[in-house]
Amino acid sequence: MGTPDWIKHYLDRIGVSDPAPPTRETLFRLHRAHLFAVPFENLDIHVPRPIVLRPEALREKIIDRRRGGFCFEQNGLFHDVLSGLGFRVRRVEANVYSAERKDFGIPMNHMALIVGLEEGDVLADVGFGASFIDPLPLDSTEVQEQDAGLFRLEVVGQDPALVGGAVAGENAAHTLFHCRELGAPDMHVAYRFYDRAHELNDYDAACHYMQTSPETHFTQKRLCSQWTPSGRSTLTDRKWIQTDWTGRRVEVDVPDDSEFEERLESEFGIRL
């Protein structure tokens, strides 16, 4: 049985010429290629256009229309790609930490992936913006340095008796993901995640909340951001931001919607 056509189209979308065996090398190549080809963006929320977590909708948006998306969309699609290429991969619940509110928000507010490799399980995540570019081994709690910053995993509680229910509880065994992303001054907790497999529709309620609630940053302003050979490029409602690999940041004002749309098309190839 050959590679499905939609996966071939996806590989073309991210600039990978041929699928390869489900190895560590292949995963790292796909993870990196995705992050450099598919922007993290919330533009549909401001059209508004509902974001629907169904495989065909994710393929049509990201592959056919060459758009990006936020975590549920990007990791939702990446899960299906990896699974279709023979990887052992599972969607897991993650909760993003808010330093302002000092909490992890609603359950299931982020989707991350755990991929089983011959060398051991790794955390994969192509839907968290300016984060790690190469997957992180779960068996290491050491600080891992990448071009994109410093990253560390910290296991909190390992008693399996604490894990139960469809959604993990506060006291369930979990892992904290710490990062010092490109240009950030300090390492901080980014999110926690639970090693418990979920179906795509388990994220429906959180996806609806994240795209509709005035309490989320996704509804506050438009955002489109992507890794580039020189670092990271980010477009918001009123700012064009470029951050190089040293962390140096240059901001240019975007005075109106006309310039926003021009930059969106010229820099990211997106026309709404």
Residues 37 and 88 in one domain: yes
Burial class (CB in 10 A: 0-12, 13-18, 19+), 227: buried
Cα 109 from Cα 102, distance rounded (Å): 15
Domain count along the chain: 2
Cα 94 from Cα 38, distance rounded (Å): 21
What's the rounded mean pLDDT across residues 123-133? 97
**Over the stretch 194-240, which tens digit does the pLDDT of each residue have?**
999 999 999 999 999 999 999 999 999 999 999 999 999 999 999 99
Cα dist from 115 to 26, 88, 89, 180, 184, whole Å: 12, 6, 4, 23, 28
pTM exceeds 0.85 for this model: yes
- pLDDT recorded at residue 169: 56
DSSP 151-219: EEEEEE---GGG--SSS--TTS-EEEEEEEETT-SS-EEEEEEEEEEE-GGGGHHHHHHHHH-TTSGGG
| 263 close to 252: Cβ distance less than 8 angstroms | no
- pLDDT recorded at residue 91: 98
Residues 59 and 101 in one domain: yes
In sequence order, the 6+-apart residues with CB closer than 8 A to the CB of 77 are: 10, 55, 58, 59, 62, 63, 69
Residues 127 and 47 in one domain: yes
Residues 134 and 230 in one domain: no
Residues 213 and 223 in one domain: no
Residues 207 and 229 in one domain: no
**Over the stretch 160-175, which tens digit does the pLDDT of each residue have?**
443 444 455 556 789 9
Residues 156 and 252 in one domain: no
What's the rounded mean pLDDT across residues 234-250? 96
Neighbour tally for 82: CB within 10 Å: 22
Residues 154 and 31 in one domain: yes
Amino acid at 77: L
Cα dist from 265 to 30, 169, 192, 269, whole Å: 25, 42, 35, 4
> Positive or negative, the Cα torsion across 100, 41, 235, 38?
positive
Residues 143 and 40 in one domain: yes
CATH no. for residue 93?
A: 3.30.2140.20
State the residue range of the domain holding 252: 219-268
- pLDDT recorded at residue 272: 84
Residue with tokens 């992180």: 136
Residues 129 and 245 in one domain: no
